[in-house]
Structure 1
Amino acid sequence: MTLLNPTRRLLLQGVSAAALVAVAALGVARAKATGKAVDSIEDLISKMSIEEKAGQLSLFSDPTRFQGAIINPTSEQAATKDRVYADIAAGRITGLFNGIGVAGAREMQKIAVEQSPHGIPLVFAGDVIHGLKTTFPIPLAEAASFDTDLAFRTARAAAVEATAVGLHWTFAPMVDVARDQRWGRNAEGAGEDTFLGSQFAVARVNGFQGSSLKDDTSLLACPKHFAAYGAVQGGMDYNTADIPETTLRQTHLPPFQAAFDAGALSTMSAFNDVAGVPSTGNHYLLTDILRGEWGFKGLVVSDYTSEEELVAHGFAADGADATAKAINAGCDVAMQSGLYNAYLPDLVRNGTVSMATVDEAVRRVLRVKQALGLFDNPYRSLELDREKTDIRTAETLALAREAGRKSIVLLKNEGGLLPLSKSARIALIGPCIDDKYDYPGPWAVFPDIATCVTMAEGFQAAMGADGTLTMAKGSHYESLYDGGIDEAVRAAEASDVVVLVIGESAGMSGEAQSRVDISIPEAQLTLAEAVAATGKPVVVLLRHGRALALTGAANTAPAILATWFLGSETGHSVADIVFGDYAPQGRLPVSFPQASGQEPYYYNHRATGRPQRTADREYKARYREVTNEALYPFGHGLTYGDISYGATMVDAAKLKWNGTVGVSATVSNKGRRAAHEVVQLYIHDRVASLTQPVRALTGFRHIDLAPGETQTVTFTLRRSDLEFMTAKLRFAAEPGLFDIWIAPSAVGGIPASVELIA
């Protein structure tokens, strides 16, 4: 199963290569726009002072146009406008991030191209993680759609909005594979699986960058965090990642390589260390692998002050030492710390850093600016009209609603409680049902909060005058309040069915929001128990940015939906599914454990010498309190149909080394409602030179099934699908037997086997 859309990937690779290889004169067009003659990149570098070169390697937050939430440990508005303008004129800034607004950007760009020593344009960047003014589902939620075309379209729409407000570059997608749900930044990624993560990495890069990086709506992608940030110990943000190199290369690096193959020309170094070497000072990662093995031609930017943090790591003695170690390792651009401006000139003069190293970093930065078309037109994506016409369009809002409903996962539906009737008496209960501030979700920096559609608004719009909707908050997210429980119980008692919206607040997920306990907060569990005690049927709608460990009434409710943080159109998206206007599509990109103490927990763990089987309790690889089975496994998701799978079949018992084998199964809908099914292909290598995962996702297909319909779904298996990272640090397949499942999740399906022969 090859990565998504090779035609589009090759097209983007061709565009990027052409932009980077052809270092021609930078153009009459820009000379006409700025009144300055423009030299080639090499001529520019030869004429720049070391101070000006350091400026091209220094990126800062924008205090002049900041309109969003403070998302970093120091204020985005620490510098004054006058200081920023003076630094631009002096050539001490390569670009600014997290400020929006075309008029201000044009003013600063005019200073850069007309007053700075060499007229080098600024690049404007921002954290556009899951939309700008229109917010889409958080990336983890969108990964639950298993729909890479959807991810491409939402990234494309986000790029249109972002470029309309004057941005050229986004610090996304996050492609870290994360297998410990205690880590708050699970919300930004695509989950626990490398194959799925690679597919979404490609889709999002293609969506952000479009068909040409020079297009006014193209947004430079920045896959992050390089590398292995998702492997931080204990799921604690900024912690160390102590993993074997085989795991680094098998699990954590492939989504990055897929993103770079798709044409991404920037990446961000990670906060964490890998095997004791912090990523921002890690020559092996940033130079040997990234540039040497992979031939990456783009730039590396540090995460927020991560080059300065080499000192706190104990890897550098002081700011000067941190600067030298970061740039010598291959970190081209320092974000926010100002260390490169402060120390690079003297480090070059005293020989600690070579001028050749600095020149190569500057060359990468200028080539990326050239690839973006900024030398040809410094005012690209700085058009005042687009700021009015390309934000929150009807098409974009419709896409947000579609993305939301496709991301919802039906976890449980005992007795066919769902979908609900719009004429029912419904009690809508929970702390977030009308809290607009919670609806954009974590890492939404520039949202239009006032227009977010809450659960209350979505249900009211769907039900109209047909039914009765009673609402009660019941509790805060993490605490009770006087009378809240009593109000919720009264609402439940007056209803036919309760829709209980519980889980995390947006502030409980994202950066710096690691959790020891991934259960629902105690106050909301108390609310759930009180509502369940009324005896009314309960539908639980989970709000979350990670997999959760469900207990008590939150677990025993007859119907449970994973509704994540879905963004601007949340209320409409949820109502579309709850009332059955659309079939549920979502599948879990993360495993739900039975208890927090099982973390890190993921489906494709390696086989052990004492595997637990159903009846085993002692002297096996398991905990005393729970079995090793997931509460809800990776890939799980129900429909409103009644879906059954036939046995997995292969069209040949042996797979030749350069051949193919067809793998198929019948999938049937025996129910009375149409269904959308995500059919998944898994493999297991029975005997290998390194222990292998018990299952590994290798492909998936989307099918629609009418009531009573059966379809045969076929995959083509190749040797490349059976490769793994060997002890020699290269991908290879080994002859032998492989188990194969076509299944609805990582634990389903009736297997077949095939033998790979050399």
Structure 2
Amino acid sequence: MKKSIYLIIAATLISGSTGFAQKKAVPAANKTMDTYISRLMAKMTIEEKLGQLNLVTGGEATTGSAVSADVEGKIQRGQVGGIFSMTTPQRIRKAQEIAVHKTRLKIPLIFGQDVIHGYKTVFPIPLGLAATWDLALIEKTARIAATEASADGLNWTFSPMVDISRDARWGRISEGSGEDTYLSSEIAKVMVKGYQGDDLSKYNTLMACVKHFALYGAAESGRDYNTTDMSMHRMYNEYLPPYKAAVDAGAGSIMTAFNDINGVPATANKWLMTDLLRKQWGFKGFVVTDYTAVSELIDHGLGDLQAVSALSLKAGVEMDMVSEGFLNTLGKSLKEGKVTEAQINNACRLVLEAKYKLGLFEDPFRYCNDERAKNEILTPANLQTAREIAAQSFVLLKNQNNLLPLKKAGTIALVGPLANTGSNMPGTWSVNAELNNTPSLLQGLKAVVGDKVKILHSLGSNLIEDAAYQERATMFGREIPRDNRSEEVIIQEALDNAKKADVIVAALGESSEMSGEASSRTDLEIPAVQKRLLAALLKTGKPVVLVLFTGRPLVLTWEHENVPAILNVWFGGTQAAPAIADVLFGDVNPSGKITATFPQHVGQVPIYYSHKSTGRPLAEGKWFSKFRSNYLDVSNDPLYPFGYGLSYTTFSYGDIKLSAPSFKAGGSITAQVTVTNTGKVEGKEVVQLYTRDLVGSLTRPVKELKGFQKISLKPGESKEVSFTISAEDLKFYNAELQYVAEPGDFQLFLGTNSRDLKSAEFKLM
């Protein structure tokens, strides 16, 4: 009888023979820190140690319904280790003063916040940031966010979110970098670096918290908080690498996921938190739960609060967010022998180490500087950077007959429920945004064109026909006032303006809270009432530009067939509106490329480019063939493939040149391609490198992204772009979860997206 695969996996984990175990040598321990914390802990009671493991909310609930009570009293009693959702130096100083002046041991608090894509200066949602394919810019957004948030008293951010997602129904796809393992891993590294800098004790840094560990983006049916189930091989090859990349980059903390893994919820999963994260990967920071994740283990069916709190601690969790199970039950569990003092001590030490690394023992008030708060937040330089980055995140999906860019002349009819709502511009998870000071698209257009263009604005339609649905989709101050007149009257008003205009700009799509946490959708099309408006606008015969707001891939099959120009602007942040105007009028040439596949139909979901072949693949170029892997009603093709995005110019690719037809492990080859700007304006192109392992010991993806370069070319200019490929780029986890590159034949692809590629072949000897 064969050994169970899980027994084989367990043996592999213990031996540490996987590629994930191949980590950098751990530096010598900080003896000064160890000595300081050991002396401090020797003075601490069990109750004081448990207090360090308790994370409470200091403001309104942001991701759940529970709100912490009697926070000041708990701080004074030594029952709080950290606070989140509390901002401003004044409020934070008040709480910190209680901790360091009114408690026995004067241990400072750590202060966290969901600084996801900027603080007060908000950048594009993470899915939009990823569409820039510009790692330096993405790192810069994290650096600015750290500077602003730390100026307001914070020192810890619950970011980056590195969950891979291939299911656009899942609302939190907006909060990550998309479907690709390689790209998400590269972004994870630079986000951690941007937040933490090179020294966490500096006053302008934030400790990163990587989330959600692990596999949260693969929730079944795309429904948030749902269960996750996958093979170990898929887990290791496709979903775990971004978390590992963030750990290797030095992330100081990890947040648990809500889902279960192999039947055990992440927050109670010892294999995940201890065997994998600590023993294999060598993680030295601390683990915090997500919002009330400990108490939610009760509904998972793992026991009462005392039982699940003990399970979480023993699994390798150090800090309990909001549930207060650690604070209120672990003392009893210790007396009953259900947890050990060593386990409590280890958790307490890791939390204290984080505070030490942040410099809080040296100066508990180092992040409470009123002058910084006045001078380093929403600066002109930060706002300018936000505008530039937003413009680079936009993706031109269609531009028939070069309708875009528009001329700064004539009359524009600006129509749609998203045309005049500044509060929706920052996007989901912009909890610190100043919504009242964020310009709407209407304001942004007027600011850019001045009196050169006459802009006629009308609502055109409500966001959603169903008023209750619209209310759910416009929470947290993102309301879009409803017009209670008949749909026909509202549309006619827009048509009257359209008749007077040279071109129609339709601002349609999702509101910001139609994506994000607890915003899963089964229907991925533009709301029907908006689609009816769009159809009516097209019937006028006037040219129509669809400015699409979305936090996820949408089904745009009808729009692609009927609308001449589509510009996907995601949710671009504080400066989204002027950035959209910059692109619409050609001051900026769009260069974004999508990092999550857009389906033709929701029935194709999950859909992603790096799928595997089957034993009955559909022949290339075929739409349908009986007894092959396909649909009766829709082709297998996506509407827009991963890596897709147009420009106001065009690019051509020459043939691939390989430095050699083969190489051995330890060596490498170089692939070169000449890219030429064949259009009339300067533009940026993302040159993408993919490979395919043609024969493997396990089935392998049809393509895998292995590199990219973003280049800028003037009209007529050519550049030779080079990539080096080594055996390291060809490694994967085999049946025994060993990280190997198997000799054999490979294909190499270079091109403008995952579909439109030049190819060559090489051999690993």
TM-score band, normalised by shorter chain: over 0.9
In 2: Cα distance, 1:553 partner to 1:678 partner: 25
In 1: Cα distance, 2:398 partner to 2:651 partner: 14
Q: Which residue of structure 2 lines up, in the alignment, with residue 4 of structure 1?
A: none
Q: Deviations over 1:88-120 (max 9, x none)?
A: 111100010011011121121111112212111
Aligned partner letter, 2:531 = L
In 2: Cα distance, 1:751 partner to 1:518 partner: 33
Q: Which residue of structure 1 lines up, in the alignment, with residue 360 of structure 2?
A: 374
Aligned partner letter, 1:604 = S
Q: Which residue of structure 1 lines up, in the alignment, with residue 62 of structure 2?
A: 71
Q: Which residue of structure 2 lines up, in the alignment, with residue 90 of structure 1?
A: 77
Say yes or no: does 1:638 pair with 2:646.
yes
In 2: Cα distance, 1:55 partner to 1:154 partner: 34
In 1: Cα distance, 2:46 partner to 2:431 partner: 35
Say yes or no: does 1:56 pair with 2:52.
yes
Question: Alpha carbons of 1:522 and 1:159: their partners in 2 closer, same or farther (altered >3 Å)?
Answer: same
Aligned partner letter, 1:53 = K
Q: Is the 8 A contact 2:422 2:441 kept in 1?
A: no
Q: Which residue of structure 1 lines up, in the alignment, with residue 394 of structure 2?
A: 408
Say yes or no: does 1:493 pair with 2:499.
yes
Q: Is the 8 A contact 1:532 1:553 kept in 2?
A: no
Deviates more, 1:431-440 or 1:400-409: 431-440
Q: Which residue of structure 1 lines up, in the alignment, with residue 471 of structure 2?
A: none
Q: Which residue of structure 2 lines up, in the alignment, with residue 545 of structure 1?
A: 551
Of 286, 293, 306, the residue aligned with 1:320 is: 306
Question: Alpha carbons of 1:330 and 1:25: their partners in 2 closer, same or farther (altered >3 Å)?
Answer: closer
Of 593, 601, 611, the residue aligned with 2:607 is: 601
Paired residues, what number? Answer: 720
In 2: Cα distance, 1:531 partner to 1:607 partner: 42
In 1: Cα distance, 2:614 partner to 2:133 partner: 29
Question: Alpha carbons of 1:25 and 1:595: their partners in 2 closer, same or farther (altered >3 Å)?
Answer: closer
Residue 275 of structure 1 and its aligned partner are, at CA, apart by: 1.6
Aligned partner letter, 1:446 = N
Aligned partner letter, 1:250 = N
Of 43, 47, 60, the residue aligned with 1:47 is: 43
Say yes or no: does 1:397 pair with 2:383.
yes
Q: Is the 8 A contact 1:648 1:749 kept in 2?
A: no
Three-state SS of the structure 1 residue aligned to 2:330 is helix
In 1: Cα distance, 2:686 partner to 2:753 partner: 9
1:733-748 alignment runs, 5 A limit:
733-748=741-756
Say yes or no: does 1:177 pair with 2:168.
no
Residue 666 of structure 1 and its aligned partner are, at CA, apart by: 1.2
In 2: Cα distance, 1:748 partner to 1:418 partner: 23
Say yes or no: does 1:569 pair with 2:555.
no
Q: Is the 8 A contact 2:425 2:577 kept in 1?
A: no
Q: Which residue of structure 2 lines up, in the alignment, with residue 111 of structure 1?
A: 98
Say yes or no: does 1:101 pair with 2:126.
no
Residue 554 of structure 1 and its aligned partner are, at CA, apart by: 5.9
Residue 424 of structure 1 and its aligned partner are, at CA, apart by: 3.0
Say yes or no: does 1:611 pair with 2:617.
yes
Residue 172 of structure 1 and its aligned partner are, at CA, apart by: 0.4
Q: Is the 8 A contact 1:23 1:41 kept in 2?
A: no
Say yes or no: does 1:241 pair with 2:231.
no
Q: Which residue of structure 1 lines up, in the alignment, with residue 10 of structure 2?
A: none
Question: Alpha carbons of 1:256 and 1:25: their partners in 2 closer, same or farther (altered >3 Å)?
Answer: closer
Q: Is the 8 A contact 2:557 2:639 kept in 1?
A: no
Say yes or no: does 1:127 pair with 2:123.
no
In 2: Cα distance, 1:58 partner to 1:457 partner: 45
Three-state SS of the structure 2 residue aligned to 1:457 is helix
In 2: Cα distance, 1:506 partner to 1:754 partner: 46
Aligned partner letter, 2:420 = D
In 1: Cα distance, 2:335 partner to 2:647 partner: 66
In 1: Cα distance, 2:595 partner to 2:33 partner: 47
Say yes or no: does 1:166 pair with 2:153.
yes
Q: Which residue of structure 2 lines up, in the alignment, with residue 155 of structure 1?
A: 142
Q: Which residue of structure 1 lines up, in the alignment, with residue 589 of structure 2?
A: 583
Of 230, 233, 248, the residue aligned with 1:261 is: 248
Q: Deviations over 1:53-91 (max 9, x none)?
A: 11100100004xx6xxx5223254x52xxx222211111
Q: Which residue of structure 1 lines up, in the alignment, with residue 257 of structure 2?
A: 270
Aligned partner letter, 1:691 = T
Q: Is the 8 A contact 2:171 2:552 kept in 1?
A: yes
Say yes or no: does 1:558 pair with 2:564.
yes
In 2: Cα distance, 1:308 partner to 1:25 partner: 33
Aligned partner letter, 2:177 = A
Aligned partner letter, 2:306 = A
Three-state SS of the structure 1 residue aligned to 2:758 is coil
In 2: Cα distance, 1:594 partner to 1:574 partner: 26
Q: Which residue of structure 1 lines up, in the alignment, with residue 447 of structure 2?
A: 461
Residue 235 of structure 1 and its aligned partner are, at CA, apart by: 0.8
Consecutive unaligned residues of structure 1, counting only runs of 5 or more, are 1-12, 27-38
Three-state SS of the structure 2 residue aligned to 1:586 is coil
Residue 225 of structure 1 and its aligned partner are, at CA, apart by: 0.2
Deviates more, 1:232-241 or 1:609-618: 609-618
Three-state SS of the structure 2 residue aligned to 1:137 is coil
Q: Percent identity?
A: 43
Say yes or no: does 1:527 pair with 2:524.
no
Consecutive unaligned residues of structure 2, counting only runs of 5 or more, are 1-23, 466-482
Aligned partner letter, 1:255 = P
In 1: Cα distance, 2:171 partner to 2:530 partner: 20
Q: Which residue of structure 2 lines up, in the alignment, with residue 35 of structure 1?
A: none
Aligned partner letter, 2:215 = A
Q: Is the 8 A contact 1:540 1:554 kept in 2?
A: no
Q: Which residue of structure 2 lines up, in the alignment, with residue 512 of structure 1?
A: 518
Q: Which residue of structure 2 lines up, in the alignment, with residue 333 of structure 1?
A: 319
Q: Deviations over 1:326-350 (max 9, x none)?
A: 0000011000011111101011111
Three-state SS of the structure 2 residue aligned to 1:24 is helix
Q: Is the 8 A contact 1:738 1:756 kept in 2?
A: yes
Aligned partner letter, 2:39 = D
Of 276, 294, 300, the residue aligned with 1:307 is: 294
Aligned partner letter, 1:737 = D
Q: Is the 8 A contact 1:302 1:331 kept in 2?
A: yes
Residue 552 of structure 1 and its aligned partner are, at CA, apart by: 2.7
Aligned partner letter, 2:41 = I
Q: Which residue of structure 1 lines up, in the alignment, with residue 468 of structure 2?
A: none
In 2: Cα distance, 1:552 partner to 1:263 partner: 46
Q: Deviations over 1:194-215 (max 9, x none)?
A: 1000011011111111121001
Three-state SS of the structure 1 residue aligned to 2:208 is coil
Aligned partner letter, 2:55 = L
Q: Is the 8 A contact 2:706 2:729 kept in 1?
A: yes
Q: Is the 8 A contact 1:647 1:749 kept in 2?
A: no
Aligned partner letter, 2:178 = G
Q: Which residue of structure 1 lines up, in the alignment, with residue 706 of structure 2?
A: 698
Aligned partner letter, 1:739 = Q
Q: Is the 8 A contact 1:528 1:554 kept in 2?
A: no
In 2: Cα distance, 1:17 partner to 1:155 partner: 26
Aligned partner letter, 1:756 = L
Q: Which residue of structure 1 lines up, in the alignment, with residue 693 of structure 2?
A: 685
Q: Could you state the TM-score of these two structures normalised by the residue count of structure 2?
A: 0.92
Say yes or no: does 1:476 pair with 2:482.
no
Aligned partner letter, 2:279 = G
Question: Alpha carbons of 1:351 and 1:736: their partners in 2 closer, same or farther (altered >3 Å)?
Answer: same
Of 212, 226, 230, the residue aligned with 2:217 is: 230
Residue 553 of structure 1 and its aligned partner are, at CA, apart by: 4.0
In 1: Cα distance, 2:367 partner to 2:678 partner: 52
Q: Is the 8 A contact 1:97 1:126 kept in 2?
A: yes
Aligned partner letter, 2:349 = R
Three-state SS of the structure 2 residue aligned to 1:478 is coil
In 1: Cα distance, 2:27 partner to 2:260 partner: 31
In 2: Cα distance, 1:140 partner to 1:555 partner: 25
In 1: Cα distance, 2:500 partner to 2:608 partner: 41
Deviates more, 1:428-437 or 1:119-128: 428-437
Q: Is the 8 A contact 1:422 1:462 kept in 2?
A: no
Q: CA RMSD, aligned part only?
A: 1.4
In 1: Cα distance, 2:98 partner to 2:422 partner: 39
Question: Alpha carbons of 1:746 and 1:434: their partners in 2 closer, same or farther (altered >3 Å)?
Answer: same
Say yes or no: does 1:354 pair with 2:305.
no
In 2: Cα distance, 1:273 partner to 1:50 partner: 30
Aligned partner letter, 2:643 = G
